[in-house]
Amino acid sequence: MLKDKLRNLREEKGLSQREIAREIAVTQPSYQAWESGISEPKATYIKRLAVFYSITADELLEIDTNENRENVIKEFKVLTKK
């Protein structure tokens, strides 16, 4: 799940939620909500997080590139509506 991926990546870097939030220009409470699974980041923040962690958005979202194309499009639409 995205919330677990975010926490794991942050902890691997040894950073606080506040530090990550500052790096990607979002409030700490918003970032905390993502890690808690209360909400999910918009596409803009997915991109910023991927760049910050030097990974692809697919890796961040744990999307298997061999998945059915329709499922990938559906998940993207859900993420971009929030």
Q: What are the domain boundaries of the chain?
A: 2-81
Identify the architecture of domain 2-81 in CATH.
Orthogonal Bundle (1.10)
- Which pair of structure tokens corresponds to residue 26? 């979002």
> Which pLDDT belongs to residue 68?
56
> Which pLDDT belongs to residue 73?
77
Contacts of 62 (CB under 8 A, 6+ apart): 1, 2, 5
Q: 10-39: b or e for each residue (b if 16 or more CB lie within 10 Å)?
A: beeeeeebeebbebbebeeebbebbbeeee
Which stretches in the chain have pLDDT values below 70? 65-69, 82
> Which pLDDT belongs to residue 82?
58
